[in-house]
Amino acid sequence: MMFEPPTPTAVDAARAIALAHETLDIEAAAVLGIKRHLGDAFVQAMRLMLMVRGRVVVMGMGKSGHIGRKIVATLASTGTPAMFVHPAEASHGDLGMIQPIDLVLAISNSGESKELTDILPMIMRLGAPLVAMTADAQSTLARHADVFLSCGVDREACPLNLAPTASTTAQLALGDALAVALLDARGFKAEDFARSHPGGALGRKLLTHVSDVMRTGDAVPRVTLDASFSDLMREMSAKGLGATAVLDDAGGLQGIFTDGDLRRLVEKGIDLRSTTAGQVMHPNPSTVSLDALAVEAVELMELRRITSVLVLDATGQLCGALNSNDLLRAKVI
């Protein structure tokens, strides 16, 4: 007889919320239970993973396999080379992916998953260290492992105490704990994380430099100190930055004139027709270095409440410029 789902109107909202609360309480308790079990075995497993010359090969069946894939992704993105090998496929050729220089992290709540226990002799013959993540210290998997990590829970969140729920949460949390401890031991930094996430927002912020997004050459608006106001405005309009650098005869940066400066001068009623760039410019303009991160330019612009900034090279000479639109196009902001 097929199971007939209840109609939406038959759902008891209060019971649903109560079960959700109970589920979260049980899973939170499961994670705290794992915390109490941590000790020398955790440190030993971490040291083995640090020393491994190959990869951490994670294996698991069913829900443990899904958790294993996530652990692999976390390890790989935080400096520990890792890959997932399906235990069932390992018996049909994929065992060749595992080398003696690797370490195997096998995950099984019972520690008796047949697909895992069947390949234990081959893993041991390879000589690859074996770390077992299981609930039963007396299980086949735990007894054959070099290190046993307990991930046992008192009960599943499933009302039937059948579906892997709290147990998989505990496995995931323990895997994260290993990844974080390894990250710290390797001296892994935000810049390292960005290098493995070049397409993400963090990668763009930590890998994009001012030199990657700035305007250069003729695209940089510039006038000399004695340039007429009309020449100054013509340069600003032509380059579309919303500002122009003001240089002395030797090319040294003396100031900047922006759209905001123009507005303020007009509001004061000043006759600008007879003025020069040197007379209306704002001295000591905000600048960033050529090799600065683009996010540093963003921070400077936010701090000074400006929309454009000039770029100087190592000798202090003007070499570029950028505004908020340039940074938006680069998806830095």
Q: 16: left (phi > 0), else alpha (psi -120 to 50), else beta?
A: alpha
Residues 6+ apart with CB under 8 A from 31: 169, 170, 173
pTM above 0.75, yes or no: no
pLDDT digits (tens, 9 = 90+) for 75-110: 988 888 899 999 989 878 788 889 999 999 999 999
Q: What is the pLDDT of residues 1-49, one digit of tens each?
A: 555 666 666 778 888 899 899 999 999 999 999 888 889 999 999 999 9
Which CATH number fits the domain that encloses residue 82?
3.40.50.10490
Tell me: pLDDT of 168 over 80. yes
Query: pLDDT of 206-229, one tens digit each?
Result: 668 889 889 999 999 999 999 999
Same domain, 129 and 270: no
Q: Is residue 133 part of a domain?
A: yes
Q: Based on the domain organization, do 25 and 93 belong to the same domain?
A: yes
Residue 199 belongs to some domain of the structure: no
User: Rounded CA gap, 288 and 296, in Å?
Assistant: 8
Same domain for 181 and 96? yes
**78 belongs to a structural domain:** yes
Query: Tell me: the pLDDT tens digits for 276-296?
Result: 999 999 898 999 999 888 888
Residue 281 lies in a domain: yes
Q: Are residues 222 and 184 part of one domain? A: no
Mark whether 267 and 217 lie in a shared domain. yes
Domain extent, residue 45, equals 14-188
The answer as to whether 84 is a domain residue is yes
Residues 233 and 131 in one domain: no
Same domain, 225 and 178: no
Q: Is the pLDDT of residue 73 over 70?
A: yes
Whether residue 236 sits in one domain with residue 176: no
Indicate the helix (H) or strand (E) that contains 309: strand 308-312
Round the average pLDDT of the chain to a whole number and report it: 87
Report in angstroms the alpha-carbon separations of 177 from 78, 157, 253, 257: 12, 22, 52, 53
Quote the percentage of the chain above a pLDDT of 90. 51
Does residue 129 lie within any of the structural domains? yes
On the question of pLDDT at 198 being above 70, the answer is no
155 and 222 in a common domain: no
Number of domains composing the chain: 2
What is the structure's pLDDT at 94? Answer: 84
1 found inside a domain: no
The enclosing domain of 266 has a CATH number of: 3.10.580.10
Is 313 a domain residue?
A: yes
